[in-house]
């Protein structure tokens, strides 16, 4: 069932969104060569708890067949697409690392992701990050009452494939509110004029995962980490949004903080 949120409820989600955005900004100076992923995880968990929130991902279990996620953030380095478990691995100059943060505050979930360049990245990595950001922006621009989910998917797919990139198909955006994953599911590929219509009060994520090569994926043995099937780079950016009467509101506006906190790729 798709739940439509009131303005008061969306205000609560806005506060949760602000918390995860500030966590991303906090991380920016720490994402550098030599740092261990588990250290980034510790920083985010301490920050979220200090602000009165709870790490949404820690202990999350989508089904009994999957072990609970053991960390506060999901990390994705280079060929990793999503859901990597932060451990002792050290970042290296030239890496790209997607960091997905979820926090529950006042009963509402904030969910967002940002892919950081580590030091000086290659031109091809820089282009992938730039196009992936543009794919998210293109998708957000299609959201509004009466528009169809296929409009969003098509806008993302058309832009990605224009640059020769693949769009991950097995994973997509989702409703979000009191729970991390709610209905509906939103594909990042599709056909214009098809699919469910957006309605005012929907709250959901758009989070295109764009691969440098094939769109095909595979899961690692840990049951969580998803990587590109061909070993090429992947990038992801994610916003939580609320559908408004005339378009949408971005509830995780990291693009505003990052503009001041870091050099954008």
Tens digit of each residue's pLDDT, the chain (265 residues)? 999 999 999 999 999 999 999 999 999 999 999 999 999 999 999 999 999 999 999 999 988 888 999 999 999 999 999 999 999 999 999 999 999 999 999 999 999 999 999 999 999 999 999 999 999 999 999 999 999 999 999 999 999 999 999 999 999 999 999 999 999 999 999 999 999 999 999 999 999 999 999 999 999 999 999 999 999 999 999 999 999 999 999 999 988 766 554 443 3
SS3 of 261, please?
helix
CA nearest to 113, candidates 159, 52, 180: 180
Spatial strand order in the sheet of 182-186 = 182-186, 173-175, 203-206, 239-244, 247-250
pLDDT at position 263: 46
Give the per-residue pLDDT at 39.
98
pLDDT at 256: 77
Stated pTM of the model: 0.95
Quote the strand ranges of 118-202, DSSP E. 166-167, 173-175, 182-186
For the beta carbon of residue 170, count every other beta carbon within 10 angstroms: 12
Quick one: which of 242, 146, 237 has its CA closest to 197? Answer: 146
Domains of the chain, by residue range, sit at 7-261
Report the relative pairing of strands 166-167 and 209-211 from DSSP bridges.
antiparallel
Q: What pLDDT is attached to residue 65? A: 84
d(CA 185, CA 251): 18
**pLDDT on residue 66:** 87
Residue 255: the pLDDT is 80
Domain 7-261 architecture: Alpha-Beta Complex (3.90)
């Amino acid at each position: 069932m798709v739940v439509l949120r009131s303005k008061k409820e969306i205000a609560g989600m806005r506060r949760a969104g602000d918390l995860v955005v500030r966590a991303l900004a906090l991380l920016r100076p720490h994402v550098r060569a030599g740092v261990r992923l588990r250290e980034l995880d510790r920083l985010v968990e301490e920050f979220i708890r200090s602000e009165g929130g709870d790490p949404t991902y820690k202990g999350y279990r989508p089904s009994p067949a999957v072990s609970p996620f053991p960390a506060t953030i999901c990390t994705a380095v280079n060929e990793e697409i999503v859901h990597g478990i932060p451990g002792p691995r050290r970042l290296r100059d030239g890496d790209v690392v997607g960091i997905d943060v979820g926090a529950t505050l006042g009963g509402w979930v904030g969910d967002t992701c940002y892919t950081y360049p580590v030091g000086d990245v290659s031109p091809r990595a820089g282009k992938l990050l730039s196009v992936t950001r543009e794919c998210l922006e293109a998708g957000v621009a299609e959201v509004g009452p009466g528009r169809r989910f296929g409009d969003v998917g098509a806008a993302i797919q058309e832009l990605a494939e224009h640059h020769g990139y693949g769009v991950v198909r097995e994973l997509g955006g989702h409703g979000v509110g009191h729970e991390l994953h709610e209905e509906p599911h939103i594909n990042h590929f599709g056909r214009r004029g098809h699919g469910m219509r957006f309605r005012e009060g929907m709250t959901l994520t758009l989070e295109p995962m764009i691969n440098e090569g094939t769109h095909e994926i595979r899961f690692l043995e840990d049951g969580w980490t998803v990587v590109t099937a061909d070993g090429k780079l992947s990038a992801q950016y994610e916003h939580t949004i609320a559908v408004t009467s005339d378009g949408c509101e971005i509830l995780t506006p990291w693009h505003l903080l990052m503009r001041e906190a870091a050099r954008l790729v």
